[in-house]
Chain A
Amino acid sequence: MRYRWNVGSLAWITHRITGIILTFYLIAHIFVLSHLKDPTAYNKIMAIMKNPLLKVGELILFAIILKHVFAGLRITLLELGISTKYQKTMAYIGAIAVALLWIIGAFYFLREVI
């Protein structure tokens, strides 16, 4: 079944997919962290995290988090009473904010490796 996409439904589907990814990441994150009580295990993980492939993964995850946060912010603002007239504008502003913050964040992430 094909149905025409629009700003609202695209925002919704990306919000959903990023949400699912983040929940699974959260499970893994808590699981890994709960095994890191002694310094050797901790430093071992931190050394693994220096791997460039995992750095790319971190950057993708950062983008997913930003996207989810701004999509959620838009929905919450609408629910708090911001007029639905601005729903599309808010989605566009959110997309710009995600892009800008991702570039700034990526700089900090990569500063350690380069």
Chain B
Amino acid sequence: MSKYYTFKIKRYLPNEKPITRWDEFRVKLNNMERVLDGLIKIKETMDGTLTFRKSCAHGVCGSCAMKINGKNRLACQTLVKDLPEIIEIEPLPSLPVIKDLVVDMTLFFQKNDKVLPYLINEEPPPQRERIQSPEDQHKILESITCIMCGSCTTSCPVFWSDKEYLGPSALLKAYRFLFDTRDKATEQRLKAIAGQDGIWRCHSIFNCVEVCPKEIDITKHILKLKRLAIKKGFKGGQE
């Protein structure tokens, strides 16, 4: 069963005037196809200049995150049959646009670097791997499933207005290492996230949870980080 859909796409063409415009395309898609299939069809058969990121097309790489009908999601994970006939597509909000649906993710990855996204353990490594029990693995399992598509951080109203804020994605990454039993840099990590641009800027708005394509309850993790910081803060007496 296939049906015609109207794709309204916000274009950004730095070499043309006007730079931004809305283009409409009519595409016939069946109910097994996704928004990404529609975009590929447009690029191949209607307008070759349409630019968007895609890679795996199976919800693993996180390249095709974009704003579809007012909500950030992965184009490869959104079936057209779940959307109305008119599909509005924009780039991820609040990041600088390079062309059409491609945004500059530099700021997003800088935030990620700030929370030290690597294991810190000064102890000499054992003969084989640093063992992690299944129970310990379970504690951080949800946060590990993050694919870093940027949907959450760019859906956060605090990040829209305050670019100094670390954002949900970076804080989730901080959780992933803080609650990893093999990691020893708790103090250092808390220092990186407990400042005024870190966890205290989260107001539990739940926009990030609404959009996460991996259905991670990011707010829950940030709330746990807040409780940990309060607990450690009184013991260590920092700040």
Interface residues in A1-52 (C-beta closer than 8 Å to B): 1-4, 6-9, 11-13, 15
A78, B207: Cα distance in complex, Å? 15
Find out whether the CB atom of A84 lies under 8 angstroms from the CB atom of B71. Answer: no
Does A79 interact with chain B (Cβ within 8 Å)?
Answer: yes
Of the candidates B157, B160, B210, which one forms a contact with A12 in the assembled complex, judged by CB atoms under 8 Å apart?
Answer: B157
A106, B219: Cα distance in complex, Å? 36
A9, B226: Cα distance in complex, Å? 20
Find out whether the CB atom of A79 lies under 8 angstroms from the CB atom of B206. Answer: no
Interface residues in A46-104 (C-beta closer than 8 Å to B): 75, 78-79, 81, 83-84, 87
A61, B143: Cα distance in complex, Å? 42
Nearest-Cβ distance from residue B85 to partner chain A, whole angstroms: 18
The chain B residue with its CB closest to the CB of A2 is B70
On chain A, the residues within 8 Å of B217 by CB distance are: 84
Count of interface residues, chain B, beta-carbon cutoff 8 Å: 22
A15, B204: Cα distance in complex, Å? 12
Given the interface pairs A2-B70, A3-B70, the reply to whether A8 lies near B227 with Cβ below 8 Å is no
Find out whether the CB atom of B220 lies under 8 angstroms from the CB atom of A84. Answer: yes
Find out whether the CB atom of B227 lies under 8 angstroms from the CB atom of A81. Answer: yes
Find out whether the CB atom of B203 lies under 8 angstroms from the CB atom of A75. Answer: yes
Find out whether the CB atom of B219 lies under 8 angstroms from the CB atom of A84. Answer: yes
Find out whether the CB atom of B206 lies under 8 angstroms from the CB atom of A8. Answer: yes
Nearest-Cβ distance from residue B103 to partner chain A, whole angstroms: 13
A13, B157: Cα distance in complex, Å? 10
On chain B, the residues within 8 Å of A7 by CB distance are: 206
Most-contacted residue by chain A among B206, B219, B223 (CB, 10 A): B206
Of the candidates A1, A2, A87, which one forms a contact with B204 in the assembled complex, judged by CB atoms under 8 Å apart?
Answer: A87
Find out whether the CB atom of A4 lies under 8 angstroms from the CB atom of B223. Answer: no
A100, B207: Cα distance in complex, Å? 28
The chain A residue with its CB closest to the CB of B220 is A84
Does B167 interact with chain A (Cβ within 8 Å)?
Answer: no
On chain A, the residues within 8 Å of B207 by CB distance are: 6, 8-9
Would you mind naming 26 contact pairs between A and B with Cβ atoms under 8 Å apart? A3-B70, A3-B93, A4-B69, A4-B70, A6-B207, A6-B210, A8-B205, A8-B207, A8-B209, A8-B210, A9-B157, A9-B207, A12-B205, A15-B203, A75-B204, A78-B204, A78-B219, A79-B204, A81-B227, A83-B220, A84-B206, A84-B209, A84-B217, A84-B223, A87-B204, A87-B206
Which residues from chain A sit less than 8 Å from chain B, CB to CB?
Answer: 1-4, 6-9, 11-13, 15, 75, 78-79, 81, 83-84, 87
